Amino acid sequence: MATQPLSPRQKMINMMYLVLIALLALNVSREILKSFYLFELSYINANASAENRNNELINAFKAKMENPKARARTEQWYQLALQTRNISKQFCQYVESVKADIVKEGGGRELPEPKSSTTPELKKPDDMEAHAHYFIEEGLGNGKILQKRINDTRVQLSNILLKARNGVTVAAAVENASQLKAIDPPQSALSKTTWVSQYLENAPLASVVTLLTKTQHDCKALESEVLAVLSENINISTLTNDAQMAMIIPEQSAVMSGEMFKARVALVTYDSKTASRMLVNGQPITVQNGVGTIAIPAQGSGSHTLKAQIESIDPATGNPVFVTSPVLEWQSYQSSATISADNMNVLFAGLDNPVSVSVPGITPENTFVSATNGIQIKSLGKGKYMATVTGNAKEGAVIVKAKMQDGSIKQMGQMLYQLRRVPTPKFRFGSLEEGAHEKSVIMAQQNAYAFLEDFYFKGVKYQVVKFHATLVSSKSMLTPDLTVNGSSTTQLKSILKSAKSGDFLYIDQIRVNGPNGEISLKNFTLKFK
């Protein structure tokens, strides 16, 4: 049987109970948001250093091209170096445009300090909505585009090395070591998380902007790796050594306190040989196959500097000489946990309260979550937990501990939450609130509803299971009444037809079923105009 077209009024009625889905509100502390801003500034500085380093590498190629004796063997690698530079530049410009878009959508940044070149803080670092719409498929869909661009750029840059000596092996090694990745986490029956939802959709604006700045740094670091390999290939078949530069290649520029800062030190020359003696901040380091390794314990929070010296041969005199690297700055930071209720900034008794927990630098497998005052925590995997509340406590704490590299267990943080019961819903006769209405409007209502007003929690619904209705008239002694099982008001049509202006429809004995079981609602009255 064909469905009859709905009237505009009926469409509006049908839509009213479809809009009970709440907004996601992620409560992130100001200290964490401030940390994201400090990391963003650190990556901005690191990007500037990486840009200078890559410019120096390109200038070394240009110097070779200007040397008539070296031009022929440099040409091929110089063109590949320019291609590398162009791919990296276009990608970083694209990421910068994405950052500009989401910062604008998220309210922009604070006004800069007078005569200051430092990037100002975001106005709304904890915003969760604007950039989520920008990235998710249901919104503008830019998340998958960004993810594909990141992975494609990594492959494009590493594939440039296929023309180098041992190209397949070298390209694969460089690609595998690169941090320029946007890979979806493993899927399971309990979790369908994607890279976009995990790092872009369900993260505050400050976190996403910092991640994008780090992505630019990862691209520039991969660019450095590719340029260094191309430079080495210039002199594969010769021993000419007329330009050289010392480099420190860190695995990361920000390290959690208690962990190790790790980096590789190498001499980029136009000879296949590398020096066997290397110093960092004046102290000798271990060297194997021409590459030195640094491992420095990170302590506290702050900036640290490194300067490498590599023993080589002066191409002009043939005498031993130390080649000194530019000073490298890296950051160490104290660990902290991010704890947030996925739906609200409180936990509700009788409901499943989704909670996300993450500790920078610590895997979910080494993160342990507990709670107090009747809060029960169940792990769903991948940093996701379900909290349930029992008892009558007004507040409780969620506590996070982590297993460190040395096997010790360290408390990373805790957050205090307010514990509340789900509020009582309000009864509605169709779309009508209590008060006076036209008889035709009252007659048009099809169902009774119970809903929570201004309760922003996803998926909480109440169903009317029973109510008693009485028609009270000032002009008649008759008071027809009816008990209705369910939510349909169709059975009331027989008594509503006799209603006159000034009569009342009195509804009591209202029972509804919700997350806390079946409860009663207060009485409800409609007056016929």
What digits encode the pLDDT tens for the residues 83-95? 999 999 999 999 9
Q: Is the confidence at residue 301, as pLDDT, over 70?
A: no
Q: What local confidence, expressed as pLDDT, does residue 518 receive?
A: 87
Q: Is the confidence at residue 242, as pLDDT, over 70?
A: no
Q: Residue 172 — φ and ψ, nearest 5°?
A: -65, -40
Q: Is the confidence at residue 272, as pLDDT, over 60?
A: no
Report DSSP state, residue 5. Answer: P
Which position has the higher pLDDT, 344 or 201?
Answer: 201
Is there a contact between 347 and 353 (Cβ–Cβ < 8 Å)? yes
Binned at pLDDT 50, 70 and 90, residue 338 comes out as low
Q: What local confidence, expressed as pLDDT, does residue 166 receive?
A: 85
Binned at pLDDT 50, 70 and 90, residue 257 comes out as low
Q: Is the confidence at residue 274, as pLDDT, over 60?
A: no
Q: What local confidence, expressed as pLDDT, does residue 363 receive?
A: 72
Q: In 160-194, where does DSSP find H-type helix?
A: 167-177
The reply to whether the predicted model has a pTM over 0.85 is: no
Q: Is the confidence at residue 62, as pLDDT, over 70?
A: yes
Q: What local confidence, expressed as pLDDT, does residue 241 receive?
A: 46
Q: Which residue is it, tokens 């890559």?
A: 54
Max mean pLDDT range (102-106, 352-356, 448-452, 504-508): 504-508
Q: Rounded distance, CA 453 to CA 449, Å?
A: 12
Q: Which residue is it, tokens 């078949």?
A: 237
What percent of the chain is predicted at pLDDT more than 90?
Answer: 29
Residue 102 has a CB neighbour count (10 Å cut-off) of 22
Return the structure tokens found at 344. Answer: 């609200």
The helix, strand and coil proportions of the chain, stated in percent and rounded to the nearest 5, come to 35, 30, 35
Binned at pLDDT 50, 70 and 90, residue 300 comes out as low
* Secondary structure element (H or E) that encloses residue 131, with its range: helix 130-135
State whether residue 21 is helix, strand or coil: coil
Q: Rounded distance, CA 209 to CA 239, Å?
A: 46
Average pLDDT over residues 4-26: 38
Binned at pLDDT 50, 70 and 90, residue 259 comes out as low
Range with lowest mean pLDDT among 162-166, 246-250, 363-367: 246-250
Which position has the higher pLDDT, 511 or 117?
Answer: 511
Which position has the higher pLDDT, 334 or 515?
Answer: 515
Q: What local confidence, expressed as pLDDT, does residue 254 receive?
A: 57
Average pLDDT over residues 68-85: 87
Q: Residue 7 — φ and ψ, nearest 5°?
A: -75, 160
Q: Are strands 328-333 and 254-256 parallel, antiparallel or unpaired?
A: parallel
Report DSSP state, residue 126. Answer: T
Q: Rounded distance, CA 215 to CA 99, Å?
A: 11
Orientation of helix 142-159 relative to helix 167-177, angle to 10° = 140
Q: Which residues pair with 323 in a beta bridge?
A: 310
Range with lowest mean pLDDT among 5-14, 55-64, 430-439: 5-14
Return the structure tokens found at 482. Answer: 């009816």
Q: Is the confidence at residue 344, as pLDDT, over 90?
A: no
Q: What local confidence, expressed as pLDDT, does residue 14 receive?
A: 39
Query: Long-range contacts made by residues 374-383, C-beta under 8 angstroms, separation at least 24?
Result: 374/419, 375/347, 375/417, 375/419, 380/190, 380/191, 381/188, 381/190, 381/191, 382/185, 382/188, 382/191, 382/193, 383/356, 383/357, 383/358
CA dihedral of 172, 255, 203, 395, whole degrees rounded to 10: 140
